[in-house]
Amino acid sequence: MEAKELGVTGAFVFTPEVFGDERGLFVSPFQGEAFTRATGRPLFPVSQLSCSRSRAGVARGVHFTRTPPGTAKYVYCAGGRALDIVVDLRQGSPTFGRWDTVVLDPVDCRAVYFPVGVGHAFVALEDDTVMAYTLSSGYVPENELALSLFDPELALPLPEGVRPVVSARDREAPTLAEVRAAGLLPGYEECRRIEDALTAARGAGA
C-alpha cells in the first residue's frame, strides 16, 4: 500500500494494491501496518462505521466535529466516483485554511485519513456514489458542524459543469470567517492532544 501526505498537515491518501481477475477484484482499503508507518500512530479506536449514497452532483460538506470531542475519519468510496475534499480548519496549523483533493472510486480504491479538526466535503461525480466512513466517535447532532462549501475565502475546487445539490443545512452553513468569529474552529494543539489520547486509548485496548 502506498501512502502520501496531502497538502493538509497530517492528512494522508492511501492507495492499496488491487487484485483483479475474471471474477472481479479483491482489495484492502485499510491496512494497519501501512497506516502506522505513514502517520506514526495506529488507527484510532473505532466508534462508528457509516456510509452515504448520493446521486451525481450531490455535494456534502464542509463538515467537522466540535472540538472537543473532535472526530478522526478514514474514508473511501465503495461505489460510484467522488471528488473528496480535505480542508484544514485547525487554527494554528501550518496549513490552516488550505485544502487538497483526491478522486475516490472503487477502481483505484484510494482512501483518505482525516485527522481531528480537519473538515471533509465531497461531490458525487456519478449516480449511486457510496462513501464509507470509519469514525473515532459516534454521531452526536449538537457536535456536528458545517461551513459553506461556497465560501470564497476557501475557494474550494468544485467540478466545472456541476451545479452542486446540497442539503438545506449545507446551503445555509456559515463562512469560515463566521465560524471563526463564533469561536467554533478547533485549535491545532488541542486536536493533536486529542489524537494522542486516541492513540493511548488504542494502546490500552479501549
Active site residue ranges: 63, 133
Q: Residue 173 carries which DSSP code?
A: P
Q: 10 Å Cβ neighbour count for 110?
A: 21
Q: Residue 137 carries which DSSP code?
A: S
Mapped onto helix, strand or coil, the DSSP state of residue 86 is: strand
Biggest alpha carbon distance in the chain?
A: 56
Which among 39, 121, 42 has a CA at the least distance from the CA of 75? 121
What CA–CA distance (Å, rounded) separates 14 from 12?
Answer: 6
